[in-house]
Amino acid sequence: MTTSRQRLAAAVFAGLVTLPLAACGGSSAAEPESSASSGGAAIGAVDLSGVCPATVVIQTDWNPQAEQGGLYQLLGPDPTIDANAKVVSGPLYSKGEYTGVDVEIRAGGPAIGFTPVPSQMYTDKDVLLGWVNTDESIQNSAALPTTAVFATFEKAPWMIMWDPATYPDVHKISDLADTDAFVRYFAGATWMEYLTGSGQLRPEQIDGTYDGTPANFVAAQGKDAQQGFATDEPFVYQNQLPSWNKPVDYQLIADTGYPLYAVALSVRTPDVTAQADCLKKLVPVIQQSTVDYFADPEPTNAVIVDAVVKFDTGWVYDAAQATDGTKQQLDLGIVANAPDGTLGSFEESRVQKILDIAGPILTKDGSAPVDGLKASDLYTNDFLDTSIALP
């Protein structure tokens, strides 16, 4: 069985190698036009036509999943699933009303040859928004600068998991340092260099050969630990993996002192200005869409699961995983209001901490950030509606 996170072998966790680029530049807002898929619906309280592209293109980093629920909630009735292009599209809705434009949600990972999202954003200028991690933005700040405009997650769902039966005295990642456990992960992860550099794991116990499958974890019969996603692997290993079928324990990487913003919705940095009129209206729509998704996730999860089936990339994701993934996002505080009470806002101190940690690591690894990079270059809260929050 292949778990849901094989994506990270080539994208999220790795020190990413950027690809040759097309000329840089932002998408330009299209002339107002009626959505071909809107069925003639009247534009509601939010009108994005004229200020936003006729089709708002959002690039994710993997196949459809519950973590993308706030994006899929944007889709109007009867979205189109393009199995060949690995795209789901339709009229863009806000609180049940048509906004005058379409939205196109593109799968990442295998659908784009594991191209890193910043590279895809600069190669394909139709993409307006993409999922980018803070450390990934730091890494690409010289050649492919991006600016985060909406914090998808308050906590990154990345974790390290272990067998509690084998290690009853292990309650956090640093406790593994006192064991003989090997800790498997995708080689090149900046967060792993942080964990070893801060003494939470021993360099000699980490193993960068994780391939995204459960085979080695199961074969080790509980002796080894492994990276994963708190929104998926614990449920799958306990309920859907016959060769294991028991609980795992884990700690979030976010709770070890590495508080990055995972897959923050981001734009090419020049578009902070070039698309300001669009983003001022669009970002609050995405905030509200996220709130609406968690209020009633099942219809949107059904679209997500249907897209996975039709995309047929070899990755398996069913309704039970989607339901549990939605629940875990809330239960673990992965999706939550920021300390200022707003859904999706950034704290400069957190961004600065990741810059302080990741900057030297990336420089040592040959991916130095641009000279003079500041935390404030990596995000903006300017487009958020501070009144929108989860209940």
Residues 235 and 264 in one domain: no
Structure tokens at 69: 């629920």
Residue numbers of the domain that contains 190: 158-256
CA distance 280 to 23: 26
Boundary of a domain, candidates 256, 274, 296: 256
Q: Is 161 left (phi over 0), alpha (psi -120 to 50) or beta?
A: beta
Residues 63 and 126 in one domain: yes
pLDDT tens, the chain, 391 aa long: 333 344 443 333 333 333 222 223 333 333 333 334 566 789 999 999 999 999 999 999 999 999 999 999 999 899 999 999 999 999 999 999 999 999 999 999 999 999 999 999 999 999 999 999 999 999 999 999 999 999 999 999 999 999 999 999 999 999 999 999 999 999 989 999 999 999 999 999 999 999 889 999 999 999 999 999 999 999 999 999 999 999 999 999 999 999 999 999 999 999 999 999 999 999 999 999 999 999 999 999 999 999 999 999 988 999 999 999 999 999 999 999 999 999 999 999 999 999 999 999 999 999 999 999 999 999 999 999 999 999 9
CA distance 331 to 99: 32
Total domain count, the chain: 2
Residues 148 and 33 in one domain: yes
pTM above threshold 0.85: yes
Residues 273 and 370 in one domain: yes
Secondary structure element (H or E) that encloses residue 349, with its range: helix 348-364
Determine phi and psi for 90, rounding to 5 degrees. Answer: 170, 180
CA distance 185 to 14: 10
